[in-house]
Chains A and B, each alone.
Chain A
């Protein structure tokens, strides 16, 4: 049993924390708005060769957390999920590959694909087929809350390859959920750190506002939620990496099904990131509302990155379907 990062993971965390703090400073994040993509940062990240086929979900989650902490304007998660799928299918690699997290609509359009504005290959579900479609990225998309490079993409036009079944897609989607959960956890932890920095500096009534109990109690429940989210994310990652698909014993609170855990992780992390950035922005007072301060960047991405998947209530219902399959009502 080990419920913290291994020493290798701590090294990985430190290395990418250093990388993103240097290369994805708030000025870089701002400059990348509204598209939400910085090609130089992407090239530097790509050069670090983190996409190796051997990378575990757990290690990628460590990196994703640092990417979230620095709200890096690069599709790290999407490419980390989609590019190994292309490699496994023997397809030509993509400059940027991404995954459409919701199935194509009746017209064969994947709507609001994460990194859809910049990716040259999209993998996703079209009907019951799991397909990869190569087409030119629009390099533009609708302006959005999170300044995320979202765009609609076609599932039918372009160079299309069938990769497998819906179940194969679900496995990729689970990886996306876990890595997104990790990134949202990074947003939450940096949101808290920004709050701590501000409430220690900002003085009112002659004292730092962080000495007021009302402010302290507004922050003191965050570290438990953030740590709990990281544990849940890494439990999901560990079960995905183990490849042994455990079950769900709700009565004993033994949840070992990676699909259920991936849903749980992304749902919980979305709530925590939303809550933490909300508190942090509030304790910044009026400045939190000003573009000049960084917390608004985090506040918007906490909501944006968690809603890309769709309405949380639907994901909770999908989770319920795994835990209590339809027809589980009895006499």
Chain B
């Protein structure tokens, strides 16, 4: 095996690192935690200004496909906010793949310039893992579609320019087949955004669609072909756009705390730190493998599932170890005097639980692996 990155990818990585170092500042982090909006527009724009976002968009950029993984891996390792940008890049890739010429012309430059974000309207208040049961409806009315329903976890909806929204267009068809993907400006009349505040400071949203009228220009891909469009999106995302190295910034913060506090001389502390280094390295190699498969034109769906299950469970384990290791100081939050690792240990203890839930739960990923990789019979629940 050959784990070396090519010289162009290394140059790209170094460029990304330099921009992160310049724009992922303590001030930006503070603003992020005060506002609950986990996005850094200055960072996005700086990446865009050097063409680094454009290069990473799947199927579009002139860059090595490995760069998609490099970009989000570097952001994640640095603890920089990446989910908003990841969604925008992924959906740009989908639009590049299945969108109309008009959609491509409008959306892709807006995203690759770092100016526009996109939010995802998949889950609903009563529909999560069983997405094909969704109830948001889009009904034909003359030349228009009339959309009614509600979406949950539409993170960044309060700042995004568009929502990519999965809705049922033909209730007479089998569940997966009667769905259509829409791509709608967020300023369309009838859309309401309500904040949902989370344990980990980050704000997400519930969005409501009340007689939202759009034309066929807002259909993305084929009518009743929404499930396929979503599969394209998932194939781009799985395992290469973040969620694979959350343990790295946690380890960086904790090791620094251990050095400054002197705790690094304790054997129990050193053993735990070393264990997390191993898990972080394995997670990174699994993610790199997904990127390698994707770069060769493959669809690393199952490999991505394996990566996500491993990386997120390892992250939760590390987070618990480190908080226990820090004791009472591990309870103190960011900005609090005396907080272990300046409060990052406490922050990760609040953030880690969501990682085995969003972007495909551990259970759904294990179902996929069991059936499609291990070849076990369809599960009896």
Q: State the A residues within 8 Å of B (CB).
A: 1-6, 58, 192, 196, 199-200, 207-208, 210-213, 215-217, 219-221, 223-225, 227-229, 231-232, 234-235, 237-238, 250-253, 255, 261, 264, 267-268, 313, 316-317, 319-321, 323-324, 326, 328-331
Contact = CB atoms under 8 A, between A and B. Distances in A.
B376 A232 contact: no
Nearest to A319: B274
B60 interface: no
A313 B255 CA distance: 18
Contacts of B379: 211-213, 216
Nearest to A61: B1
Nearest to B276: A250
B12 interface: no
B1 A235 contact: yes
Given A223-B306, A228-B310, A5 B271 contact: no
B370 A219 contact: yes
A330 B263 CA distance: 10
Contacts of B371: 216
Contact of A220 (B1, B4, B281, B366): B366
B31 interface: no
Nearest to B379: A213
Interface in B1-39: 1-6
Contacts of A2: 1-2, 292
Contacts of B77: 251-253
Contact of B366 (A58, A208, A216, A316): A216
Given A2-B2, A250-B252, A231 B289 contact: yes
B255 A324 contact: yes
Contacts of B380: 207, 211-213
Contacts of B285: 3, 228, 231-232, 235
Contacts of A231: 1, 282, 285-286, 288-289
16 contacts: A1-B295, A3-B285, A4-B289, A192-B374, A213-B367, A217-B370, A219-B376, A220-B365, A220-B374, A225-B310, A232-B285, A238-B2, A250-B255, A253-B248, A255-B281, A316-B274
A192 B3 CA distance: 27
Contacts of A212: 379-380
Q: Sorted from nearest, which 5 A-B pairs have the closest CB atoms?
A: A224-B306, A216-B370, A220-B366, A320-B270, A231-B285
A75 to B, nearest CB: 26
Interface in B304-350: 305-307, 309-310, 313
The A interface, classified by DSSP as helix, strand, loop or mixed, is helix
Contacts of B66: 1
Given A1-B288, A213-B379, A227-B303, 4 more contacts: A216-B371, A252-B77, A317-B271, A329-B265
B242 to A, nearest CB: 14
Given A1-B292, A232-B281, A317 B310 contact: no
Nearest to A6: B1
Given A238-B2, A324-B270, A250 B264 contact: no
Interface string B261-299: 010110100110111011011111110110011010000
A327 to B, nearest CB: 9
Interface string B69-92: 000000001000000000000000
B245 interface: yes
Contacts of B2: 1-3, 238
Given A4-B1, A235-B3, A267 B251 contact: no
The interface centre, meaning the residue of A235, A267, A317, A321 with most chain B CB atoms within 10 A of its CB, is A235
Nearest to A326: B265
B1 A251 contact: no
A250 B249 CA distance: 10
A100 B380 CA distance: 50
A61 B251 CA distance: 30
B289 to A, nearest CB: 4
A3 B374 contact: no
Nearest to B305: A224
A165 B303 CA distance: 43
B230 interface: no
The interface centre, meaning the residue of B66, B278, B310, B377 with most chain A CB atoms within 10 A of its CB, is B278
A248 B278 CA distance: 12
A329 B274 contact: no
Contacts of B252: 250-251
B374 A216 contact: yes
A249 B273 CA distance: 14
B102 interface: no
Given A58-B1, A199-B376, A320-B274, A253 B284 contact: yes
Contacts of A3: 1-3, 285, 288-289, 292-293
Interface in B347-375: 363, 365-367, 369-371, 373-375
Given A211-B377, A324-B273, A317 B265 contact: no
B355 to A, nearest CB: 15
B1 A217 contact: no
A264 B271 contact: no
B377 A210 contact: yes
B278 A268 contact: yes
A169 to B, nearest CB: 22
Contacts of B273: 320, 323-324
A225 to B, nearest CB: 6
